[in-house]
Amino acid sequence: MGTSRRKFIKISALGFGGAAVAATSLETIGLNSYLEGLALENSLEKLKQTATYCEVCFWKCAGWVHSDREGNIHKIIGNNIDPHCNGRLCPRGTGGVGMYSDNDRLKKPLVRKLIDGEETFVETSWEEALTLIASKMKAIKEEYGAESMGLLKHGAPGSHFEHLFKAFGSDSIAEPAYAQCRGPRETGFALTFGSWVGSPEPTDIRDTKCLVLIGSHIGENMHNTQVQEMSDAIDQGATIITVDPRLSTAASKSQHWLAIKPSTDIALLLAWMNVLINENLYDKAYVDKYGLGFEQLKAHVQEYTPEWAYGITTIKPEEIRKTARIMAAAAPATIIHPGRHVTWYGDDTQRARAMAILNGLLGSWGRRGGFYFKESISVPKFPHPPYPTPKWGWEDIGEKYPFAEMGITNELIRASIPSEENEHPIKAWMVAGTNLNNSIPNKKLLEEAIDALEFMVVVDTMPMEITGYADVVLPECTYLERYDGIRSATNREPSIALRMPAVPPRFDSKPAWWIAKQLGEKLGLHDYFNYDDYKEVIAWQLKEMGTSLEELEKIGVKKFKRKSGPMYLEDGQNYEFLTDSGKIEFYSAALERKGFDPMPKFTQHPEPQPGYYRLNYGRSPMHTFSRTVNSPNLNDLKSENDLWVNPKVARILNLKKGQYVWLENQDGVQSSFPIRVRVTERIRWDSVYMVHGFGHNNKKLGRAHGKGASDTQLISQVAIDPIMGGTGMRGNFVKILTENPTKTLEV
């Protein structure tokens, strides 16, 4: 490389960006450059700070967007007083500016047109796009009823459209966050303790003495305060026990890593119950006072000895006993963590029940170092007429699953496929902020439903795969460019956070609230959208809450005093749980009434055939779902996923580190793109692992297209949880192909 001095001099004229880098070191070398440096720093000091809460994931950490007068966002820093982040954003939040600066963003409303016999997207005006959508919605309402408009959504934009749909007369609403993610644990814990786990989880990790993770990989999932508190717990000398077939990051921080055979977790949980009960290690006073059905549970678990579990889980009996004793010694400051993405094998509600029951035996619910009683403050509803009552809605669509507490996406999708027996026909969708192609397993079902739809609108910031199926695509602006609803946090103490635009929307993108309002106006629903700017709604709400928009603009986050009483149970305190019986239900009569096992049992799940490996998937700390892979900042940290393969497997198949391979699952589904092999001792020989969210096939995602493989594509076997309708996705098996199976593959 030759001298680059000329190049460097050139950049000093380039202005702010280039010079700011130099300034850090220029300061020190002499008077003139020191002054230059100071001048630059002073201009840096003038960066505007705008309150926001993050939308890169669902944790919604509050922060400050630092931007200059020209509207360039320099950095995003956590808000020190926010209980979701304590001033420390995760890599996705810190790199959140990439959501804004990505030039692959959706720029203009697009409408599907047939030109020369070919379907194509044509740019259109907002007026034309919205008029078209409103007329389609009216037509659906007239012909089938408003209920036949389905909304599939996620995150902040979803709530604006939920309001629109309810005002329109449809409650046919679902989000992958339930049936593809945390639904089973909400149902399982609600059946036991009477309340959801919710988000953020009320796990008192900060003060725990023993944290037990069942496949939950905190640290790879960057659920911010969970990660922070796990670190605090490590500092405090807490014991971590991790049950995972893979040496996850959390497993590597654990004193006890139980390298379990995949799909056998319930056997271990039952054996732990057996030890706690038979060795009299459970919290007797707590169980006597608050529990129901302990004697039945005791009888139930007698056959589930550690020796029995050994044969199933491959965890040695002495290891099972030892870890059970450690949990009991630390109790009630022991947390059997409910996990988050828990739709694994179809008996997931029962596994969540088993985890809840263990927490009950250890007396950790409502105890310091276990689970605290969370509290949030309710944000007053901006006045509008009552919603009309739909004739049917998400509950009816998911009626086969008696304990579903939210809309089941996969059932809403099924209801979109016309059939004789379908009493709740969905005819059109709005999809907001969720890339269904990379979140809903069973691609065939999804595509069949989409084919049958009369109309489909997608609202997103990025040209995600789902946009390719839409009739109309609406470009939403990113969280850094818009107002959104006030974030009310459920936490140790209630708090609220403000999101306001730091910069004007790029391109011709618009905030979701604006899109919802425009559609509302066109549908004659003005009274539900009685404001010109969503700012008015927020200002009104904040005033009602005894604060003001001006105050929140300055502080970003405001905390409130608890009103529901202490965070923990006091010794001997009378307490009524919100279950049917008012007790912690070890034995669930509610489940029994509907024909389900009142106490969890172990069920054998399918195992890989020779030559096949169980496909496990998880998270990387730099990405959220499939949403962030194209972000310039986050793509720079991780641009593709790897296939984790045990060295023994690599030897048998003659796989080399870094080699690209293709995957084919048990149903012959092949990965569209190759994935790089990572040979590692961190994984069992009976499974392979990849990070979820890669393998994008939309070429408009310039950085993400064709990079890595999509786990979702390879999940064609889905084990539905009969209790709440969740889609168990870990019963898929792949073989590894070293040659490209499709000669015509586009890369």
Partner 1 sequence: MRYAMVIDTKKCVGCSDCVVACQTENNVPIGYCRDWITERVEGTYPKVELELRSERCNHCENAPCVRCCPTGASHIIDGGIVLVTPNECIGCGACIESCPYDARFQHPDGYVDKCTFCHHRLEKGQLPACVSVCPTKCMYFGDLDNPNSEVSQLLKARKHKTLAPEAGTKPHVYYLI
User: Site residues for partner 1, window 68-127 (CB under 8 A)?
Assistant: 74-78, 85, 87-91, 94-95, 97
Q: Which amino acid is at 511?
A: P
Residue 637 burial by Cβ neighbours in a 10 Å radius (0-12, 13-18, 19+)? middle
Q: How far is the CB of 20 from partner 1 (least distance, A)?
A: 5
| Closer residue to partner 1 (CB): 462 or 729 | 462
How many other CB atoms are found less than 10 A from the CB of residue 239? 19
Distance CA 642, CA 433 (A): 26
The distance of closest approach from Cβ of residue 128 to partner 1 in the complex, given in angstroms and rounded to an integer, is 36
Burial 361-398 (b: 16+ CB within 10 A, else e): bbbbbbbbbbbbbbbbbebeebebeeeeebebbbebbb
Q: How far apart are CA 558 and CA 79, in angstroms?
A: 11
Question: Phi first, then psi: what are they for 105, rounded to 5°?
Answer: -55, 155
Q: Write down the least CB distance from residue 707 to partner 1, Å.
A: 15
Residue pair 691/623 in contact (Cβ under 8 Å)? The answer is yes
Nearer to partner 1, 515 or 683 (CB): 683
Q: Which of 9, 13, 31, 114 binds partner 1 (CB under 8 A)?
A: 9
| Residue from 155, 194, 200, 219 binding partner 1 (CB under 8 A) | 219
Q: How far is CA 220 from the centre of its chain?
A: 13
Question: What is the C-alpha to C-alpha distance for residues 272 and 264, in angstroms, rounded to an integer?
Answer: 13
Task: Classify each residue of 639-658 as buried b or exposed e, where b means 16 or more C-beta atoms within 10 Å of its C-beta.
Answer: ebbbbbbbeebbeebebeee
Which range of residues in 9-17, 416-424, 455-463, 688-696 is near partner 1 by CB under 8 A? 9-17
Least Å distance between CB 507 and partner 1? Answer: 20
Minimum distance, C-beta of residue 509 to partner 1, in the bound complex (Å): 22
Least distance (Å) between residue 212 CB and partner 1? 18
Tell me the one-letter amino acid at 504: P
The distance in angstroms from the start CA to the end CA of the chain is 32
Interface region with partner 1, contact rule CB under 8 A, candidates 15-23, 140-148, 179-187, 469-477: 15-23
Among 222, 357, 549, 645, binds partner 1 (CB under 8 A): 222
Which one, 180 or 248, has the nearer CB to partner 1?
A: 248
657 binds partner 1 (CB under 8 A): no
Query: Could you tell me how many residues make up the chain?
Result: 747
Q: For the CB of residue 48, give the shortest distance to partner 1 in the complex, in Å.
A: 16
Adjacent-strand bridge partners of 112: 121
Residue 738's identity, in one-letter code, is T
Rounded to a whole number of angstroms, the minimum distance from the CB of residue 463 to partner 1 is: 20
Give the shortest CB-682-to-partner 1 separation in angstroms: 6
List 152, 167, 247, 516, residue binding partner 1 (CB under 8 A): 247
# binding residues, partner 1 (CB under 8 A)? 71
- Contact set for partner 1, span 458-517 (CB under 8 A): none
Q: Does 231 bind partner 1 (CB under 8 A)?
A: yes
- Toward partner 1, which CB reaches closer, 23 or 675? 23
The interface with partner 1 within residues 248-277 (CB under 8 A) comprises 249-250, 252-253, 257, 259
Interacting residues with partner 1 between 38 and 57 (CB under 8 A): 41
* Part in contact with partner 1 (CB under 8 A); list of ranges 134-142, 171-179, 193-201, 674-682: 674-682
Alpha-helical regions (H) of 511-646? 512-522, 534-544, 549-555, 589-593, 632-637
User: Least distance from C-beta 104 to partner 1, angstroms?
Assistant: 14
Site residues for partner 1, 684-703, by CB under 8 A, read 684-685
Q: Which of 501, 497, 463 is nearest to 479 (CA)?
A: 501
Q: Which of residues 331-370 bind partner 1 (CB under 8 A)?
A: none
Minimal distance in Å, beta carbon 637 to partner 1? 5
Q: Which positions from 404 through 433 interact with partner 1, judged by CB under 8 A?
A: none
The residue among 182, 231, 223 whose CA lies nearest residue 205 is 231
Under rule CB under 8 A, residue 131 binds partner 1 = no
Taking the alpha carbons of 232, 238, 240, 241 in that order, is the dihedral positive or negative? negative
Peptide bond into 332 cis (omega under 30): yes
For partner 1, which is the closer residue by CB, 443 or 682? Answer: 682
Q: Which is nearer to partner 1, 22 or 134 (CB)?
A: 22
Return d(Cα 438, Cα 443) in angstroms, integer: 9
Q: Where does this chain touch partner 1 (CB under 8 A) — which range of 18-26, 451-459, 542-550, 589-597?
A: 18-26
Give min distance, CB of 312 to partner 1, in A: 17
Of 588 and 646, the one with the shorter C-beta distance to partner 1 is 646
Of the two residues 226 and 349, which places its CB atom closer to partner 1 in the complex? 226
Closer CB to partner 1, 61 or 292, in the complex: 61
What is d(CA 294, CA 277) in angstroms, rounded to the nearest whole number?
Answer: 10
Write the DSSP string, 373-438. Answer: --B--PPPPPP-PPPP--SSBHHHHTTTSTT--S--HHHHHHTTS--TT-SS---EEEEES--GGG
Q: Closest distance between partner 1 and the C-beta of residue 269, in Å?
A: 19
Q: Does 653 bind partner 1 (CB under 8 A)?
A: no
Kindly indicate which of the ranges 123-131, 224-232, 481-489, 736-744 contains the residues binding partner 1, using the contact rule CB under 8 A.
224-232
Task: Give the x-and-dash track for 160-199 against partner 1 (CB under 8 A).
Answer: ----------------------------------------
Inter-CA distances, 642 with 251, 469, 674, 698, 738, Å = 19, 28, 10, 20, 14
Question: Min. distance of Cβ 24 from partner 1 in angstroms?
Answer: 5
Helices (H) then strands (E): counts for the chain: 26, 27
Within residues 364-403, the interface with partner 1 by CB under 8 A covers none
Q: What CA–CA distance (Å, rounded) separates 279 from 240?
A: 22
Q: Which amino acid is at 50?
A: T
Q: Is 680 in the site for partner 1 (CB under 8 A)?
A: yes
Between 160 and 703, whose beta carbon lies closer to partner 1?
Answer: 703
Does residue 29 bind partner 1 (CB under 8 A)?
Answer: yes
Is residue 24 close enough to count as binding partner 1 by CB under 8 A?
Answer: yes
**With respect to partner 1, which residue has the nearer C-beta, 359 or 620?**
620
Closest separation between CB of residue 485 and partner 1, Å?
A: 25
Contact with partner 1 (CB under 8 A): which of 224, 616, 630, 710? 224
Classify 600 as helix, strand or coil: coil
x/- contact string, 611-650, with partner 1 (CB under 8 A)? Answer: ----------xx---------xxx-xxx-------x----
442 backbone φψ class: left, alpha, beta (φ>0; ψ -120 to 50): left
**DSSP secondary structure, 77-125, as one string:** EE-TT-TTTTT---HHHHTTHHHHH-TTS--S-EEEEEETTEEEEEE--
Element (H, E) at 497: strand 495-497
Stretch that binds partner 1, among 221-229, 276-284, 450-458, 484-492 (CB under 8 A): 221-229
